[in-house]
Amino acid sequence: MNILGINSVAVDAAASLVSKGKVIAAMEEERFTRIKHDGAFPVNAIESCLSIGKIEASDLDAICFSFDEWKAVRSRLLYFMSRGDVRALWNTICKRGKAFIGQLQHETTFQKKFSITKKTKIYKFDHHLSHAASCFFPSPFDKAAILILDAAGEDTSISIHIGRDNRIQTLKKYPYGQSLGAFYTSLTEFLGFKPNSGEGKVMGLAAYGEVVFAKQMEHLLALKPRGDIQLDLSYFTHHRGLGSHCSSRFYKEFGPPRIPESQITQRDENLAASLQKRLEDAAIHIARHLKKISGMDRLCLAGGVALNGVMNAAILEHSGFKEVYLMPSPGDSGSSTGAALLYQHQIQNQQREEGLLKSPFLGVSFSDEEVEKELKNFPNLRWEKRQDYLDYTAHKLAEGAIIGWFQGRFEFGPRALGARSILADPRRVDMKDILNERVKFRESFRPFAPAILHEHSAEYFENPHDNPFMLLVFRIREEMRDRISSGVHVDGTGRGQTVHKEISPTFWELIRSFREKTGIPVLLNTSFNVRGEPIINTPLEALQCFVKTKMDFLVMDDIVVWKPNGR
């Protein structure tokens, strides 16, 4: 059975291919179009999934969308009618109506472009159920509680479920507008960062501030009995879909918003810290309730808010769950995987295969011939194939080199996990500044992640819970901080990726070799891109990024590339 999952609503368009019970390809459209968070119909991602599966569209048994536009139109019209909100009602008719027609057009586009037959079934699944399927079915758990937090699905932004074997049962959907994702995004916008993009920056900034706005945050977002929350919507406009997120009442209380790219003030830092704390409190509150009513010990998390690794770790530490599972892409792109898996397990009643999604390396790869062909277009660069490229790279890293690392299939999801990464030595105190100055050009308050051999995780992290997809932020043991100083955030935490030999053998071997030379089983790992761009996909993009930045070496499989005159 071949099933294609598609997310094509608003942001992070993506496609996933499930074949013979397993997820064999999954990728975001932004990697191809080079537009960050691109929400366009993912034609390129679909083509690549089919190519990896060596199938034609006519071989597909089902095509599954992870959002039902018609359901969204209906529920929002009812919501605004009940509130007598004429402006938002009219906006919904125009905007969501257009999106509904867009989804119909997507189906037609698919039928025309990929020439599917009438026997291919097309499904539009509930968005939150797609998220739930994306994290429960690939999890190692037979049964688990499921918590979904995002900006907005069709009719909810928070939902809780129970997963058992190949079934998911929804326990509760929170009312439309009561959204932790939209709450965080609203303040992200107020703090001068791009909504639905800059939330990770706010999380990084939070570590610099104090929670001085606790009272105001409690007023904006109240915690109620039985795991309920109440967002005071008089401070917000996000739920009305009119473009902005905060209302005039919010500006009256908190003052003028930060102008994008302007100096960050103490107020901004404190606001970020207070927001982050309130998000964590609310998420823990809901998770505790879920733990109580489900009686489960294990939790699966998904939805865009689950990209907040600090919140995820807080849930794990304070809600009573013993283990948590997150798939490589908990945001909307991952819902494409969930939609395909929903068809496989809920509709077709197929049992879950062991390890149906173990590796995050679900994107496109390139042969040595393709890399060498591209290198011919860069006559100013020198390169050689080296059998000892792992040992050589580890040696150069230990000497302080910054290295572009391009290996095999690219990662699904927003994190570079050792396939399209920029690597450096974490021991040097100044490495963060050097990376920013020479390569990344990003805000100085953002941390860089340490990638650690999972066998050594407990030596460095206070909580050694597995973190293969870099979605949990834990405190680094105080006595170890000096050893990996540039991988430690200002509050002593790190988004440590636990690297497993069976998932990433080459990357694991590289870190092992670095440890042999330095005694440190950790490398600094940041995404292979420059500020504001999606992570690279092709050898050409790797070479272009290498040329325009001041990286020392680029290693593409076993080919080592350098600039004859240094940087």
Q: Between residues 95 and 446, which has the closer beta carbon with respect to Fe ion?
A: 95
Judged by CB, which is closer to Fe ion: 150, or 269? 150
CA 434, 207, 404: angle at the middle one, nearest 5? 30
Which of these ranges, 145-153, 305-313, 373-381, 454-462, lies near Fe ion under the rule CB under 5 A?
Answer: 145-153
Three-class SS of 517-558: HHCCCEEEEEECCCCCCCCCCCHHHHHHHHHHCCCCEEEECC
Smaller CB distance to Fe ion: residue 159 or 525? 159
Q: How wide is the angle at C-alpha 50 spanned by C-alphas 196 and 502, nearest 5°?
A: 75
CB of residue 332 to Fe ion, shortest distance in Å: 5
Q: Which CB atom, from 128 or from 495, has the smaller least distance to Fe ion?
A: 128
Q: Tell which positions 371-410 bind Fe ion, by CB under 5 A.
A: none
The C-alpha angle 140, 146, 151, rounded to 5 degrees, equals: 125
Q: Are the beta carbons of 534 and 30 closer than 8 angstroms?
A: yes
Nearer to Fe ion, 126 or 332 (CB): 332
Whole-angstrom Cα distance, residue 33 to residue 13? 11
| 28 contributes a contact to Fe ion by CB under 5 A | no
Instruction: Give 448-469 as a 3 state SS string.
Output: CEEEEEHHHHHHHECCCCCCCC
Query: Within 376-453, where are the H helices?
Result: 389-398, 431-435
The size of the interface with Fe ion (CB under 5 A), counted in residues, is 2
Cα(202)–Cα(489) distance, rounded to whole angstroms? Answer: 14
State the minimum distance, in angstroms, from the CB of residue 285 to Fe ion. 21
Minimum distance of Fe ion from residue 67's CB (angstroms): 8
Return the number of the residue (132 or 375) whose C-beta is nearest Fe ion: 132
Cβ contact 7:13 at 8 Å: yes
Closest of 538, 562, 545, 554 to residue 32, by C-alpha: 538
150 binds Fe ion (CB under 5 A): yes
Q: Which is nearer to Fe ion, 150 or 411 (CB)?
A: 150
List CB contacts of 248: < 8 A, sequence separation 6 or more.
Answer: none
Q: Smaller CB distance to Fe ion: residue 150 or 280?
A: 150
Which 286-345 residues touch Fe ion, going by CB under 5 A?
A: 332
> Closest distance between Fe ion and the C-beta of residue 125, in Å?
12
Instruction: Compare residues 136 and 213 and give the one whose CB is closer to Fe ion.
Output: 136
State in angstroms the smallest separation of the CB of 431 from Fe ion. 35
Nearer to Fe ion, 269 or 332 (CB): 332
Q: Which is nearer to Fe ion, 305 or 449 (CB)?
A: 305
Token digits of residue 114: 């990929």
* H or E stretch at 82: helix 69-83
Q: Which stretch binds Fe ion (CB under 5 A): 149-157, 359-367, 447-455, 521-529?
A: 149-157
CB of 58 vs Fe ion, minimal distance in Å: 30
Residue 298: which of 321, 330, 327, 315 has the closest Cα? Answer: 321
Pick between residue 7 and residue 359 the one whose CB is nearest to Fe ion: 7
Residue 404 CB, nearest distance to Fe ion (Å)? 32
Name the E strands within 133-292: 143-149, 158-164, 167-173, 221-223, 229-231
Distance in angstroms (rounded) separating the CA atoms of residues 447 and 206:
12
**Pattern 404-423, Fe ion, x by CB under 5 A:** --------------------
The region of 51-59, 135-143, 148-156, 373-381 touching Fe ion under the rule CB under 5 A is 148-156
- Report the alpha-carbon distance of residue 324 to residue 561 in Å, rounded: 40
Smallest separation (angstroms) from Fe ion to the CB of 342: 14
Bridge partners of 28, per DSSP, are 14
We find the least distance from the C-beta atom of residue 303 to Fe ion, in angstroms, to be 5
Stretch that binds Fe ion, among 143-151, 156-164, 192-200, 366-374 (CB under 5 A): 143-151
Only segment of 150-158, 261-269, 455-463, 542-550 that touches Fe ion (CB under 5 A): 150-158
- Under the binding rule (CB under 5 A), the answer on residue 425 touching Fe ion is no
Binding piece for Fe ion, criterion CB under 5 A, among 144-152, 280-288, 364-372, 519-527: 144-152
Task: Report the run of H or E that residue 372 belongs to, with start and end.
Answer: helix 368-375
Residue nearest to Fe ion as judged by C-beta position: 150
Closer Cβ to Fe ion, 132 or 315, answer by number: 132
Closest approach of Fe ion to the CB of residue 204, in Å: 22
Query: Cβ(402)–Cβ(435) under 8 Å?
Result: yes
Which residues are CB-contacts of 401 (< 8 A; sequence separation ≥ 6)? 424, 552, 553
Separation CA 233–CA 235 (nearest Å): 5
Phi, psi of 18 (to 5 degrees): -105, 125
Q: Rounded to the nearest whole angstrom, what is the least distance from the CB of residue 331 to Fe ion in the complex?
A: 7
> Rounded to the nearest whole angstrom, what is the least distance from the CB of residue 357 to Fe ion in the complex?
18
- The answer for residues whose C-beta is within 8 angstroms of residue 515's C-beta and 6 or more apart is 453, 456, 521
Least distance (Å) from Fe ion to the CB of residue 373? 39
Q: In the complex, which residues of this chain contact Fe ion (CB under 5 A)?
A: 150, 332
